[in-house]
A and B are shown apart, each in its own frame.
Chain A
Amino acid sequence: MSETATNTAKNTDQSYWQQVRRRYRKSRLAVLAMRFLAVLIFVAVFADFLANEKPIYCKIDGESYFPIFREYAVDLGLAGWPPALRDNQWNDTTRCSVKILALIPYSANTPDYANTYKGPFAEQKVKSRRYRHWLGTGNLGIDVAAGMIRGTRVALLVGIISMGIATLIGLFLGALAGFFGDNGFKISRIRLWLNLLGLPFAVFYAFVPRWYYLLEGAQLGWEWLRALGTFALIMALLNALAYVLRSWEPLSRKVTIPLDLLIMRLIETRNAIPGLILLLAFLAIIQKPSILNVMLIIGLISWTGIARFVRGELLRIRQLEYIEAMRALGLSNWRILVRHALPNALTPVLITISFGIAGAVLAEAGLSFLSIGLPPEEISWGKLLAGSRSNISAWWLATFPGFGIFITVTVFNLIGETLSEALNPRATE
């Protein structure tokens, strides 16, 4: 990648990224996809202001309130509800003398018992056009438009964070496998033995004595910190010991660890079980469903694609001349890897990440569709879509959420697709 970049940059006086941008812009669809992505991100970030049963601004008895902002403060524990807003049924905002409502004056789970399963074009029992359910309602009269907006946030959050986790794992393992290969990773014998023997004990002392407090204790965060600290301390001590003992010749003999082989086996093992089945199995048995678990497990499952990709890139890069030059200069392996080799493999990873986000969004939607993973009170596109199965005549429940999923997945697929063309101009010639 870097080669091509520097060559072409010399020729045209344009920076690498300018070139990529120019090539990317050639595809009108892809530019459109970027704009769609901007809209999706906007909706996700400002979801609370776009659809909320609370008004953005409300004046009660001459006093001004901003209930949505206030809710953020209350959630963060910075403030409490003022007496005037406490126990306020927000479906009835008549108490506000002046008010600014959110675009959709419903939250994703605001029930409206007067209008259950009302279509977008059906007659609805609402106060005024301002309160109309533009995309219809579902079970208990929840507003589909509000659900769509909330769902955008859930989908993007799951997509981006789970791919973030997957990228971290994939980059790490892929880089190790690709850069060191089967023969490049050598450590002294004593260090290998101490690490292998010490690991079970480090795990033991870190977690076993306090496992009850790790799961049930009053200060969970502190307990976990202590456990991880203990683990790190024991491992550090062992490695320090290995460093000291290394001076004795028989212990210092080097052992080669076939990192590539080990990591490829790991990838193969993971890939042998279809991802969705693994997801189902893990999420269905989790006691407390939460969006965090969904992100974590999707992330832990989908790193293999990135790892393979990075491995392939590094296998190529490590044979380039500039790496050899670094070696000749006496730089350590780790320094070369982190400072010089890995940065050149990063850009193409964007392609895999983009496709990965599409996959994660799809996975989350599929799981919610099977009502697995998310807690009951959380609304997502998949859940809305599943709602259509209990009421066949509610076509709007199937159409809009599905379209949301489709658009998001297409946007990320298109971006990935065009990026791969923009980053590898030779491949498309």
Chain B
Amino acid sequence: MLRYLLKRILIFIPTLFVISLLVFGLNRLAPGDPIQTCLPITDDPNLERTEAAYARVAHQYGYDLPVFYFSFTAAAYPDTLHRILNRDERETVTKLTGQFGNWPLVQDYYREVRQINRQIYYLPDSLDRNGIIDFRRISELLRVLYQPDRIDFQFKTLEDVLNRFPDLNQHLADDLQRLSGSFTLLKRGKRTDLLYRPAFYWHGRQNQYHRWASRFVRGDFGTSCLSGRKVADLLRVPLYWTGIMNILALVITFVVSIFLGTRMAVRRNGWFDRLSGLLLFIFYSLPTFWIGTMLIIFFTTPEYGMKWFASVGLGNLPTGAPFWDRFWEAANHLILPVFCLTYGGLAFVSRQMRGGMLDVLQRDYIRTARAKGLDERKVVWKHAFRNAVFPMITMVALILPAVIAGSVIIEMIFSIPGMGRNLFEAIIRKDWNVVYTIVMLAAILTMIGNLVADMLYVLADPRVTFANRSRQ
């Protein structure tokens, strides 16, 4: 038993590793600058202060580290690419290198781009504002341009601007000259051969993944970028609500289905069996988000004269309110969402129960029990029920991921501040530490659910051994 448990837990490790890579990779795939999301919104005109704040935030969240333990790229790219913090800049430089292959010249050109952008900030105030604005708009555009023809075109536009504003020309002509010169050099100095030479860089343990993963293992989930709070604190309340909803839904699903399934099996093919079979089938196909929306529209608004339930959200009683008030308030708000989470699983679980019960009712020992004149109720509930109910244990594990995922949409519809809603918002707003934490927790929970179900299964049925269970 212990050995089996250990083996299963050991198997968890590679699975979790792959999942963590996948989740972590999402950050890389997502567009947008993750550092920008973490920055407090300011309109500080001071360039140096803004850049310093940017670097500080990048350092705080570890974005100034290499992404992974190693990188395998072309020799044209340097191993220090991660030091360019700004994502737009990094991508532009990478794309330039992808075309020309000559990193030093790309660096030279990009330094000039930065230089000219910086130059604009320190121009004397006596100059024509319009000229500066025109010039800056284009030179800022150059920071993200990487198509040679477009860059050349923007150089021409910049020259036009300078021709129109002679006093600006005095200050910026040389810079523009150097800039376009460096780009011409870059175009001449193509080193596409370097793009074909593989390079392997080892970054060691000082990398973003290691930093995040090692902290995660130690239970430190990091800080949420948007709210500045610890993720663990941030998710405490959502976890509570999602937990309450899902546990309630699971318990109701199982209690109802077990009794329903048993009754259906006992009167097999009777009217009750057929009717509930049909109803359950319909329930199974009813999309929860549809039913949820319909329930909200018809039963929580006075529009159609059937305002029987509280509207979406969780109500706004203060935390100091008496317990029972808060309890009824929460209950009133939770009835509809829990119903939505419950009905879909009913069909699935009660059908399994019906099947299991039918199987048991055909066994010899049931016939014996009946033959010795036992009351039918006793036969069903005392002899058959116990044996039919235990395979249902594994169903908990099967249904758990569906419930976790299902509560995302339900929480969105009913505006319940749970894990699902938090996840959705974190994904949309790129609050990566929150995304990582919730997805990893969902994965771990699913795997533990599977494991527990397997263990219970073996404990409940002595005929099943760990050896033949693990081979399935």
Answer whether A272 and B72 are a contact pair too, CB < 8 Å, given A365-B289, A405-B290: no
Given contacts A275-B405, A280-B423, A370-B424, contact A385 B290 (CB under 8 A): yes
What residues on A are CB-neighbors of B435 within 8 Å?
A: 281
B424 touches A280 (CB 8 A): yes
Asked if A284 meets B409 with Cβ closer than 8 Å, knowing A208-B73, A269-B18, A402-B294, the reply is no
A395 contacts the other chain (CB 8 A): yes
Provide the residues of chain A in CB contact with B294, threshold 8 Å. Answer: 398-399, 402
Instruction: Map CB proximity to A onto B375-412 as digits: 1 under 8 Å, 0 otherwise.
Output: 00000000000000000000000000110111011001
- The distance in angstroms between the C-alpha atoms of A401 and B99, with both chains bound, is 48
Interfacial chain B residues near A389, Cβ < 8 Å:
293, 296, 413
Task: Tell which of B24-32, B81-89, B173-181 binds the partner.
Answer: B24-32
10 smallest A-B Cβ distances: which pairs? Answer: A212-B98, A402-B290, A274-B405, A276-B405, A285-B30, A410-B285, A209-B195, A274-B401, A272-B443, A409-B285
Residues of B within 8 A of A (CB): 11, 14-15, 18-19, 22-23, 26, 29-31, 72-74, 95, 98-99, 147, 192, 195-196, 198, 281-282, 284-287, 289-291, 293-294, 296-298, 301, 303-304, 401-402, 404-406, 408-409, 412-413, 423-424, 427-428, 435, 438-439, 442-443, 446-447
**Which DSSP category, helix, strand, loop or mixed, fits chain A's interface?**
helix
- Least CB distance, A357 to chain B, in whole angstroms: 12
Measured between beta carbons, the chain B residues less than 8 angstroms from A277 are 404-405, 408, 423, 438-439, 442
Residue A222 CB within 8 A of the other chain: no
Q: Which residue of A lies closest to B440 (CB)?
A: A273
Q: Which residues of B contact A268 (CB under 8 A)?
A: 15
Complex interface bits, A139-151 against B, C-beta within 8 A gives 1, otherwise 0 = 0000000000000
Q: How far does the Cβ of B444 sit from chain A's closest Cβ, in whole Å?
A: 8
Please indicate the chain B residues that have their CB under 8 angstroms from the CB of A281 in the complex: 23, 26, 427, 435, 439
The secondary structure that dominates the B interface is: helix
The CA of A210 and the CA of B74, in the complex, are separated in Å by: 11
Instruction: Report the Cα distance A233→B186, complex, angstroms.
Output: 33
Chain A 260-290 interface mask (CB, 8 Å, partner B; 1/0): 0000010011011111110011101101000
- Known A208-B74, A212-B95, A370-B412; judge A274-B402 contact (CB<8 A): yes
CA distance A287 to B287 in the complex (A): 28
Q: Which residues does chain B contribute within 8 Å of A271, judged by CB atoms? A: 401, 446
**Across the interface, do A276 and B408 meet the contact criterion of CB distance under 8 Å?**
yes
A272 in contact with B99 given A366-B409, A405-B287 (CB within 8 Å): no
User: Across the interface, do A366 and B297 meet the contact criterion of CB distance under 8 Å?
Assistant: no
- Are B72 and A200 interface neighbours, CB within 8 A? yes
Question: 1/0 contact trace for A109-141 toward B, CB 8 Å?
Answer: 000000000000000000000000000000000
User: Do A285 and B29 have beta carbons less than 8 Å apart?
Assistant: yes
Cβ-neighbour of A276 out of B19, B285, B304, B409 (below 8 A): B409
Question: Bound complex: CA of A208 vs CA of B147, how far in Å?
Answer: 18
A339-374 residues with Cβ-Cβ distance < 8 A to B are 358, 362, 365-366, 369-370
When chains A and B are docked, how far (Å) is the Cα of A283 from the Cα of B378? 54
Residues of A within 8 A of B282 (CB): 410
Chain B residue contacts of A388, Cβ below 8 A: 293, 297
For the complex, what is the distance from the CA of A200 to the CA of B428, rounded to whole Å?
Answer: 33
The answer for the CA separation of A354 and B30 in the assembled complex, in Å, is 33
Determine the chain B residues whose CB is within 8 A of the CB of A369 once the complex forms: 289, 409
A-B pairs with beta carbons under 8 Å apart, 9 shown:
A274-B442, A281-B435, A285-B31, A358-B285, A366-B289, A385-B293, A392-B303, A406-B285, A409-B287
Counting CB contacts under 8 A, is A201 at the interface?
yes
Distance of A409 Cα from B288 Cα, bound (Å): 12
A-B contacts besides A273-B439, A277-B408, 19 pairs, CB < 8 Å: A204-B198, A265-B14, A272-B446, A272-B447, A273-B19, A274-B401, A277-B438, A277-B442, A281-B26, A285-B29, A285-B30, A285-B31, A358-B285, A366-B287, A370-B409, A370-B412, A389-B296, A393-B303, A398-B294
Taking CB atoms, residues of chain A closer than 8 Å to B98 are 211-212
Judging by beta carbons under 8 Å apart, are B72 and A204 in contact? yes
Q: A280-B408, A402-B294 are in contact. Are A392 and B285 (CB under 8 A)?
A: no
Q: B234 to chain A: closest CB distance in Å?
A: 18
Are B293 and A398 interface neighbours, CB within 8 A?
yes
Bound: A398/B299 CA distance, A: 14
B61 nearest CB across to chain A (Å): 18
Between B19, B291, B293, B409, the greatest number of chain A beta carbons within 10 A of the residue's beta carbon is seen for B293
**0/1 string, A377-407, CB within 8 A of B gives 1:** 0000010010011001101001101100110
Q: Is A413 in contact with chain B by the CB < 8 A criterion?
A: yes
Query: Does residue A216 face the partner (Cβ distance < 8 Å to B)?
Result: yes
- Taking CB as reference atom, which chain B residue is nearest A361? B287
Q: Please determine whether B303 and A272 come into contact, CB atoms closer than 8 angstroms.
A: no
Please determine whether A413 and B284 come into contact, CB atoms closer than 8 angstroms. yes
Cβ contacts under 8 Å, A46 to chain B? none
Q: A201-230 vs B: 1/0 string, CB under 8 Å?
A: 100110011111000100000000000000
Q: How far is the CA of A40 from the CA of B291 in the complex (A)?
A: 22
